[in-house]
Amino acid sequence: MDCPRCKVALNIRSYKGIEIDQCPKCNGMWLDHPELDQLEDTVLSDDEIKGMMMYARRESDISCPKCDQVMTTFNYHAYNLPIDYCPAEHGFWLDGGEDKRVLELMEQRTKDLSRAANAENEWSKLLQRVGSKSFFDKVKGLWKG
């Protein structure tokens, strides 16, 4: 299989426990259809939490190295990270360095979800305290002067 950008033969190698095809010239990598999900799973494995992956789909400027069909580009999880995929579901093309950006975004998503869960927990505790009689007594006491 050849690189869809450089047209040189891709090398098979292991990356984070996943067998990928990588271009020796541009460092782009081909991930077979389930392998992008496997890459994400090295950081965040809950698919429901990951959410929808493909936003702002448009025609790509490269063709699938397996079937030669024009690929589709999408913004990965609505971020400014364009990734190409084969509409026939053969796989995904990540340009050099995009693999690291995928992992960074999944790590950030994990932190954001943790922060949101903590905020929700604190809000719930506040609502419980607000609903208690002692809280209302304190508020009334402020007005009795």
DSSP characters over 39-69: HHHTT---HHHH---EEEEEEEEEE-TTT-P
What average pLDDT does range 67-78 have in this prediction? Answer: 94
For the range 98-106, what are the long-range contacts, defined as Cβ-Cβ under 8 Å and sequence gap of 24 or more?
A: 98/28, 99/15, 99/29, 99/39, 102/36, 102/39, 102/40, 102/76, 103/39, 103/42, 103/43, 105/76, 105/77, 105/79, 105/81, 106/40, 106/43, 106/44, 106/50
CB proximity list for 26: less than 8 A, separation 6 or greater? 3, 5, 6, 95, 96
Residue 57: per-residue pLDDT? 96
> What is the residue whose two structure tokens read 């190698």?
13
Q: What is the pTM of this model?
A: 0.73
Please provide the average confidence, as pLDDT, over all residues in the chain: 84
What average pLDDT does range 16-38 have in this prediction? Answer: 95
46-60, 67-81, 126-140: lowest mean pLDDT where? Answer: 126-140
